[in-house]
Amino acid sequence: MADQLTERSQNILEAIVEDYIASAEPVGSRAISRRHSFNLSPASVRNVMADLEDMGLLCSPHTSAGRIPTEKGFQYYIDTLLHVRDLNSNEKQNLRKSYRFQGMKMEDVMQEVGRVLSGLSKYTGLVMAPKFSSTVFRQIEFVRLSQGRVLVIYVSETGLVQNKVIEADRSLTAQQLEKISNYLNAELTGLSIQEVRTKLNQELQEERILYDQMKQQALKLSCAALQDEVENQVYVSGASLMLEQPEFSTPEQMRRLIKTLESKKLLVDLLDRSQLAQGVQIFIGSDSSHIDLEGCSLITSNFSNKKGAIGSLGVIGPVRMDYSQVIPIVDFTAQLVSRVLEREIE
Amino acid sequence: MADQLTERSQNILEAIVEDYIASAEPVGSRAISRRHSFNLSPASVRNVMADLEDMGLLCSPHTSAGRIPTEKGFQYYIDTLLHVRDLNSNEKQNLRKSYRFQGMKMEDVMQEVGRVLSGLSKYTGLVMAPKFSSTVFRQIEFVRLSQGRVLVIYVSETGLVQNKVIEADRSLTAQQLEKISNYLNAELTGLSIQEVRTKLNQELQEERILYDQMKQQALKLSCAALQDEVENQVYVSGASLMLEQPEFSTPEQMRRLIKTLESKKLLVDLLDRSQLAQGVQIFIGSDSSHIDLEGCSLITSNFSNKKGAIGSLGVIGPVRMDYSQVIPIVDFTAQLVSRVLEREIE
DNA sequence: TGTTAGCACTCTCTCTGGATGAGTGCTAAT
DNA sequence: ATTAGCACTCATCCAGAGAGAGTGCTAACA
């Protein structure tokens, strides 16, 4: 349906979208005919505008206001009119310098990425850390605490750590724990955490007729430590920047936005969805299938290392976002983070 | 200065504060004389009100509105008039049931505490996790990752874990790492992490004339893992609830509030301050020495275990907060968390 | 046939002024 | 010491007028 637009219509649509992105206000025919040198009178522009409105690409808040792009209009703009320029090496260098990951733990890296993303884009930054279950097992350690409590520590190939305190049989000695961990380290090496989980469960099933008390203990402990993990940690940075945007200027809008950003559930959904595809993805407004993010767009990309730990990051802004500026930032940041993660294992 | 108030003045002040807490609107003399059975005419109430205003306990937004308590007024109310009722055992039981800490990692516990605190109080919950450096050393572990990178894991008595990937000399073998960890575990046992840090640094100094290559490596590794730690992790929950409060109903107020809650810096300051004292503490409005929290009050308490890991939690709400309800919640929650932490080590 | 000038029309936004009502401060009476 | 009475102040609400921006339509034009 898209390319039925004449060149003139496209030019005008582009002009309207861009003016609207810059001003956040309805764009009138006069303004278009003056600011852009189409050599067309306002009246002609109006005719085209009426057509675009019929197609559902524009709409007007009321009779005597200008036009604003609909979500469909933005969609079209992004699909066919937007030219995303690459960052030049200077900008890339600057971006690289913004991030200081030196000697940071994974969590801190994620938080830092969110902060910078938000700072550069002037919108809200989102980062979803790699799920632990999608990483590759490297080592398990047990630390005896007091009163039969045992701290179980899983380490992934990438150096991610997951730990949990488990109530264990008091009779377990340090020697036994060491034996257990040796056994498991041999047994589980090379599996993904997901596989580790199923394998442990299987063996626990088989061993049900507890021939080997200790082995059973071992499996139980290790299993418990992988239970009910809060996966999908999402970091949200710069929510307050969104409140500066005119589309969130009324108390009601502010409340709703903050509530949505705070609950994080929806964000996890979207970032999860984004992981299904590759490269930069854009979700526009209620296209994202949830009213709570009405008026928002989301630009995401994924990062990963060669061992499969996958996370995603992005920027959430008003639909009227400066896509040409934010897209390259998100894109390059994702690459940057990937490279950092890879450097950490390889 | 405080107790120069006659009983009648006190009663009226109390009535005003409580009506204001309930309604968020200026309280008039007529309302007071009717709602509360003082058997005083509005005119008499007005006289008292005028006195209270002179003392700086009340103020009126404009001539023909009622009075609202000043911060000083709230302070007085809290210091002398407020009766904090204890929770009855039923309520305590309910509170206990709200929290499900079963098998949670410290981080998750903290987050959960914040959420519940916010949910119960209808204001914003704050939790500052115990600083790792104030905990007691239990064990150190090294995990060799690829390319000479080593994951250093510190475990505290309480089962808290701190870990970091460190770039190490490639020649380090697994055996050597094990030897190192044995050495350190013997050496450092019983020290607080703070002490561990200084001790490592001292030894590193002494050993400078590197007699013992390996020992030096050991110290360097262990030291590096304790460097630049982001302490003072603060969890903020339910910020959006504050936006429901009438005192944050204008866009400008909302923006400022969210910005402050987001930056967390100020919150860390306040929670740090709260750790200097014991029991429930209350910071009122700009008393908290920063304009950014104008209009807010903070109710905090500390939690700890016997081994000294100390954190604090609290609720941040409008100055016009329902103190009599929130204080016991904060108080009891702090006790609850302490008990949970203690159970984990003892 | 596409383009444009002109014009009536619509709708929002802002400003104004008056009415309303809540609440005060003061004074004089009890 | 308390209270009734009264004049006064000020925010809030509402209606109406005027301005301004922008549209749609029609008729003229190249």
| Angstrom distances, CA of residue B58 to CA of A201, B43, B45, B46, B75 | 66, 17, 13, 12, 11
**What pLDDT, on the 0 to 100 scale, is given for residue B309?**
64
pLDDT of the residue at B158: 78
Do residues A265 and A337 share a domain?
yes
Rounded Cα distance between A52 and A72, Å, is: 11
Please provide the size of chain B in residues: 346
Instruction: Name the closest nucleotide to B25, judged by C1' and CA.
Output: C22
Q: Which of B18, B53, B81 is the last residue of a domain?
A: B81
A57 lies in which domain range? 2-81
Asked if the Cβ–Cβ distance from B244 to A254 is below 8 Å, we say no
Decide if pLDDT at A9 tops 90: yes
Residue A302's Cβ-count burial label (10 Å; 0-12, 13-18, 19+) is buried
For residues A27 and A74, membership in a common domain is answered with yes
Whether B142 and B108 share a structural domain: no
Among all protein residues, pick the one whose CA is nearest to the C1' atom of C11: A64
Give whichever of A185-189, A236-240, B285-289 has the largest mean pLDDT: A236-240
For residue B175, count other CB atoms closer than 10 A to its CB. Answer: 8
Q: Which residues of A lie closer than 8 Å to B, measured between beta carbons? A: 103, 105, 108, 138-139, 141, 143, 145-147, 149, 151, 153, 155, 157-159, 161, 163-166, 224, 227-228, 230, 238-240, 243-244, 249-251, 254-255, 258-259, 262, 344-346
Pair type for strands A234-237 and A124-128: antiparallel
- Asked if residue B274 and residue B180 are part of one domain, the reply reads no
The pLDDT of residue A321: 96
Per CB-CB distance under 8 Å, the chain A contacts of B250 are: 251
* Overall domain count for chain A: 3
How do residues A44-62 score in pLDDT, each as one tens digit?
A: 999 999 999 999 999 999 9
In this prediction, residue A231 carries a pLDDT of 67
Question: Which of A159, A244, A249 is nearest residue B151 as measured by Cβ atoms?
Answer: A159
Question: Which pLDDT score, from 0 to 100, does residue B90 have?
Answer: 92
Tokens of B196: 């561990």
By percentage, how much of chain A surpasses pLDDT 90?
55
For the beta carbon of residue B151, count every other beta carbon within 10 angstroms.
Answer: 23
Residue A36 to chain B, least CA–CA distance (Å) = 35
Give average pLDDT by consecutive 10-residue segment, chain B, 346 residues.
77 96 96 90 96 96 94 96 91 89 80 95 96 87 82 86 82 83 90 90 73 77 79 90 94 94 91 92 78 90 81 96 96 93 65
CATH number for the domain harbouring residue A264 = 3.30.450.40
Task: Give Cα B238 to chain centroid, integer Å.
Answer: 14
* Same domain for A154 and A125: no
A209 has pLDDT over 60? no
pLDDT at position A2? 46
Query: A61 exposed, middle or buried (CB, 10 Å; 0-12, 13-18, 19+)?
Result: exposed
Indicate if B334 and B298 belong to the same structural domain.
yes
Q: Which of A151, A155, A345 sits opposite B146 (nearest CB)?
A: A345
- The DSSP secondary-structure symbol of B67 reads B
Specify whether B236 is located in the same domain as B341.
yes
How distant is the Cα of B346 from the closest Cα of chain A, in angstroms?
6
Same domain? B203 vs B295: no
Which amino acid is it at B103?
Answer: G
> Partners of A296 in the beta sheet?
A318
- The nucleotide minimizing the C1' distance to residue B44's CA is D2
Residues B154, B193, single domain; the answer is yes
Q: Whole-number Å distance, CA B19 to C1' C20?
A: 25
Answer yes or no: do A104 and A162 share one domain: no
Identify the CATH number of the domain in which residue A186 sits.
3.30.390.60
Residues A118 and A168 placed together within one structural domain of the fold: no
Residues contacting nucleic strand C by the 7 Å CB criterion are: A 39-41, 43-44, 47, 62-65; B 26, 28-31, 42-43, 46, 49-50, 53, 60, 63-67
pLDDT in tens, A10-44: 999 999 999 999 999 999 999 999 988 888 999 99
CB pairs under 8 A between A and B: 110
**Is the Cβ pair B153, A161 closer than 8 Å?**
yes
pLDDT of the residue at A1: 47
Burial (0-12, 13-18, 19+ Cβ within 10 Å), A325: middle
Both tokens of B167, joined, read 């770039």
User: Is B240–A224 a contact, with Cβ atoms under 8 angstroms apart?
Assistant: no
Rounded average pLDDT over A169-180: 81
Residue A271 in this model has a pLDDT that exceeds 90:
yes
β-pairing, B234-237 vs A161-167, is unpaired
Label residue B306 exposed, middle or buried (CB < 10 Å: 0-12, 13-18, 19+): exposed
Among A189, A208, A226, which residue terminates a domain? A226
DSSP letters of B92-131?
Answer: HHHHHHH---TT--HHHHHHHHHHHHHHHHSSEEEEEPPP
Query: What does the block give as tokens for A305?
Result: 């290392």
- Given a cut of 70, is residue A230 above it in pLDDT? no
CA–CA separation, B241 vs B159, rounded Å?
33
The reply to whether B49 and B64 lie within a common domain is yes
Q: How many residues appear in chain A?
A: 346
CA distance A110 to chain B (A): 13
3-class secondary structure, A136:
strand
Give the end of a domain, one of A226, A243, A276. A226
pLDDT, residue A117, reads 97
**Which pLDDT tens digit goes with each residue over A69-123?**
999 999 999 999 998 988 999 999 999 988 877 767 788 889 999 999 999 999 9
For chain A, give me the number of helices (H) and strands (E)?
13, 10
CA dist B172 and B185 (Å) reads 18
User: What's the CA–C1' distance between A15 and C5, in Å?
Assistant: 24
pLDDT given for residue A134 in this prediction: 82
Name every residue in B having a CB less than 8 A away from some CB of A. 103, 105, 108, 138-139, 141, 143, 145-147, 149, 151, 153, 155, 157-159, 161, 163-166, 224, 227-228, 230, 238-240, 243-244, 249-251, 254-255, 258-259, 262, 344-346
Which CATH number covers residue A56? 1.10.10.10
Our CA-based measurement puts residue B187 at a distance from the nearest CA of chain A, in whole angstroms, of 17
Q: Kindly tell me if the per-residue pLDDT of A207 is higher than 70.
A: no
